[in-house]
A = this chain, B = another copy of it.
Amino acid sequence: MFPFAAPVRDLRFVLEELLEQRSLDLPGFEETSLDLIEAVLEEAARLASEVWAPLNASGDRQGCVRREDGGVTLPDGFAEAYRAYVEGGWNGIGVSQALGGQGLPEVVASSVQEMLHGANMALGLCPMLTAGAIEALAHHGNDDLKATYLPKLVEGTWTGTMNLTEPQAGSDLSRVRTRAVPEGDHYRLFGQKIFITWGEHDASENIIHLVLARKPDAPEGNKGISLFLVPKFLVDDDGSPGERNDVTCASIEHKLGIHGSPTCTLSFGEGDGAIGYLVGEEGRGLNHMFTMMNEARHKVGVQGIGVAERACQHAFAYALDRVQGKNPRAGDESTISHHLDVRRMLLSMRARTDALRALALFCAAELDVARHAEEATERKAAQARVDVLIPVVKAFSTDQAVDIASLGVQVHGGMGYIEETGAAQLLRDARIAPIYEGTNGIQALDLAGRKLQRDGGAALAGLIDDVEVTARALQEQEGLAVLGENLLAGAADLRSAMAIVLEQGSDSERGIDAIQAFATPFLGLAGHVLCAWQMGRAALKASVALAAGSREPFYRNKLAAADYALRQWLPVGRGNLRVIEAGMTSLADFDVAAH
């Protein structure tokens, strides 16, 4: 087990050099200085590395236990580590000051999240879900609900959950059956929800469940679904948790990974019904939930990057320590880091993690613009980019994170398969991220379907324009021209693929099938091109720093990573255009049942 060092240097490179601190120029961040951000990153790094990270392996081994009394016991130290996070004021850093948070830019909040997930993904899920609850309440809750619940949620002394899934309703939430029966100013909820992350635990004073349910007279399908707030403890008039509500943890799941995160089946209304309050408008529950889903999806992408970063660190540490084989450059006592086949794995892990991080933070910066820019047109344009980028950040980052964690296992050889080494846990933990918060297939459909079709690809086309600007800048830079050519070719491929998806996707008869068939390769192509773009930008910045006389190996390594990303990673991803060009005949012809 190697220690985790929160990647402050890499995060600063993205925030300060790649993004040129653009979030700080926005209205509302006048008092947010670079010094402040650096202090925040350093302090978060300490919490991540020193408090959260040491519990990652023990939390995995110990897991969560549902007690006879229906409560859930967390792994040793988790409740304390969560409280240290709350006491440090971390839960509110990205929340606006109007709601009681610190109102730091999203790029900073995302950076902190990445460190915490890298340190301990299972624990990081708790505040991730709370953030979703805050978002939904802040946007859709009435003043009473906001006054009662938001301050505690923003502090983190109360935590939040998202109750969507039921046994028959997963990706297809229109099948939700949980009932909400009106009773005076509130409702009584009856039903069962599954896969509720951090659905029950003792680390906070109260748990605020946001629940999708139907009124008895509600129509079938999406339009009958409303959103309800159901607290674990009903809140007394003085604002403190009082009587226990009728929601209980029926069981917890035995999962492949994130053992330190209790995944609960929650029963609502085994007695008189769980008291709940309508959030927002009746029949608009799914829309309200998606408000928070969009940002939660960004956070899941960031989570994948955190785990990928930790996988890199483990693999590098092992490769620098393990003596095996001989290498002409290193002699008899070569560590495996000298063998180029091992170095290929390390560089692949590093280059991809860097690229994913840069893209996720680019998206976070667009989120900052979308929220804070002076001009409405600027905000709108940024939001359009965010809408396109989020499914890519979520799905591409998490698919890649699984692959990076798997490569991390491989670097360790036989030791990688032994649980005590810690590399295998990262693979097990990472594997959930392509599934939850909308499977990666759902993300791809969101991109190739809704997001692309509604604006005819305008937002993505704008991003591709920017990719080409970077490509041409690379072409003009000595030593980087070939990177520019590769990037330009990638951009052209993405444009071609977009044209196919737009044209065939809008077909009234076969459009749905076309989008389904092309969505995943299209998202894969977009992910490769956009990530390669970010590494192209990193190469430009690194060569500026080197030309200015920097001797930091950091910049030379960024050039190597960019070279890898643009010349060894992107070309494989470009194959996705061929996949789309091949059409969907084989998919349509394939007889699954006769298999």
Q: Which A residues form the contact surface with B (CB < 8 A)? A: 165, 168, 170-172, 175, 194-195, 253-257, 312, 316, 319-320, 323-328, 337, 339-347, 350, 402, 406, 409-410, 413-414, 416-420, 424, 427-428, 431-432, 434-436, 439-441, 444-445, 512-513, 516-517, 519-521, 553-554, 556-557, 559-561, 563-564, 567-568, 571-576, 578-579, 582, 584-595
**17 CB < 8 A contacts A-B:** A165-B414, A168-B323, A170-B324, A170-B413, A254-B420, A319-B592, A341-B441, A346-B590, A347-B587, A560-B589, A563-B585, A564-B586, A564-B590, A567-B582, A571-B578, A572-B572, A574-B575
Chain B contacts of A593 at CB under 8 A?
A: 320, 337
**Complex Cα distance A346/B516, Å?**
13
Chain B residue at minimum C-beta to C-beta distance from A195: B414
**Complex Cα distance A172/B324, Å?**
6
Asked whether, in the complex, the Cβ of A347 is within 8 Å of the Cβ of B586, the reply is: yes
Chain B contacts of A576 at CB under 8 A?
A: 572
Chain B contacts of A439 at CB under 8 A?
A: 410, 413
Chain B residue at minimum C-beta to C-beta distance from A194: B414
Contacts A175-B324, A557-B594, A572-B579 supplied; 9 other A-B pairs, CB < 8 Å: A341-B516, A346-B590, A347-B590, A402-B406, A427-B431, A560-B590, A563-B589, A567-B586, A573-B575
Check A435/B414 contact, CB under 8 A, given A328-B513, A347-B590, A578-B571.
Answer: yes
Residue among A170, A257, A316, A343 having the largest count of chain B Cβ atoms under 10 Å: A343
CB distance from A420 to the nearest CB of B (A): 7
Chain B residue at minimum C-beta to C-beta distance from A517: B340
Chain B residue at minimum C-beta to C-beta distance from A590: B560
Chain B contacts of A416 at CB under 8 A?
A: 435
Asked whether, in the complex, the Cβ of B431 is within 8 Å of the Cβ of A406, the reply is: yes
Chain B residue at minimum C-beta to C-beta distance from A566: B582
Check A572/B575 contact, CB under 8 A, given A409-B431, A564-B586, A592-B319.
Answer: yes
Chain B contacts of A337 at CB under 8 A?
A: 592-593
CB distance from A125 to the nearest CB of B (A): 13
Residue among A316, A343, A592 having the largest count of chain B Cβ atoms under 10 Å: A592
Chain B residue at minimum C-beta to C-beta distance from A448: B341
Check A316/B165 contact, CB under 8 A, given A575-B574, A578-B571.
Answer: no
Chain B contacts of A585 at CB under 8 A?
A: 563
Asked whether, in the complex, the Cβ of A556 is within 8 Å of the Cβ of B170, the reply is: no
**Complex Cα distance A165/B588, Å?**
49
CB distance from A265 to the nearest CB of B (A): 11
Check A343/B590 contact, CB under 8 A, given A171-B324, A424-B256.
Answer: yes
Asked whether, in the complex, the Cβ of A341 is within 8 Å of the Cβ of B520, the reply is: yes
Chain B contacts of A350 at CB under 8 A?
A: 590, 595
**Complex Cα distance A265/B257, Å?**
27
Asked whether, in the complex, the Cβ of B170 is within 8 Å of the Cβ of A339, the reply is: no
What are the nearest 9 A-B pairs in CB distance? A553-B594, A571-B578, A572-B575, A340-B516, A567-B582, A563-B586, A256-B424, A560-B590, A337-B592
CB distance from A202 to the nearest CB of B (A): 24
Contact of A171 among B325, B428, B556 (CB under 8 A): B325
**Complex Cα distance A436/B415, Å?**
11
Chain B residue at minimum C-beta to C-beta distance from A576: B572
CB distance from A185 to the nearest CB of B (A): 34
**Complex Cα distance A592/B312, Å?**
11
Chain B residue at minimum C-beta to C-beta distance from A340: B516
Chain B contacts of A579 at CB under 8 A?
A: 567-568, 571-572
CB distance from A558 to the nearest CB of B (A): 10
**Complex Cα distance A328/B511, Å?**
10
CB distance from A260 to the nearest CB of B (A): 15
Asked whether, in the complex, the Cβ of B584 is within 8 Å of the Cβ of A578, the reply is: no
Chain B contacts of A339 at CB under 8 A?
A: 516
Asked whether, in the complex, the Cβ of A341 is within 8 Å of the Cβ of B594, the reply is: no
Asked whether, in the complex, the Cβ of B419 is within 8 Å of the Cβ of A584, the reply is: no
Chain B contacts of A172 at CB under 8 A?
A: 324-326
Chain B residue at minimum C-beta to C-beta distance from A416: B435
Asked whether, in the complex, the Cβ of A559 is within 8 Å of the Cβ of B589, the reply is: yes
CB distance from A372 to the nearest CB of B (A): 35
Contact of A256 among B417, B553, B563 (CB under 8 A): B417
Asked whether, in the complex, the Cβ of A590 is within 8 Å of the Cβ of B557, the reply is: yes
Chain B contacts of A521 at CB under 8 A?
A: 568
**Complex Cα distance A445/B255, Å?**
37
Asked whether, in the complex, the Cβ of A572 is within 8 Å of the Cβ of B578, the reply is: yes
Asked whether, in the complex, the Cβ of A519 is within 8 Å of the Cβ of B341, the reply is: yes
Asked whether, in the complex, the Cβ of B418 is within 8 Å of the Cβ of A435, the reply is: no
CB distance from A109 to the nearest CB of B (A): 26
**Complex Cα distance A256/B431, Å?**
13
Chain B contacts of A584 at CB under 8 A?
A: 340
Chain B residue at minimum C-beta to C-beta distance from A593: B320
**Complex Cα distance A257/B513, Å?**
38
Chain B contacts of A402 at CB under 8 A?
A: 406
CB distance from A427 to the nearest CB of B (A): 7
Check A255/B417 contact, CB under 8 A, given A567-B586, A584-B340.
Answer: yes
Chain B residue at minimum C-beta to C-beta distance from A436: B414
CB distance from A554 to the nearest CB of B (A): 7
CB distance from A310 to the nearest CB of B (A): 14
Chain B contacts of A324 at CB under 8 A?
A: 170-172, 175
**Complex Cα distance A30/B325, Å?**
47
**Complex Cα distance A574/B341, Å?**
19
Asked whether, in the complex, the Cβ of A417 is within 8 Å of the Cβ of B432, the reply is: yes
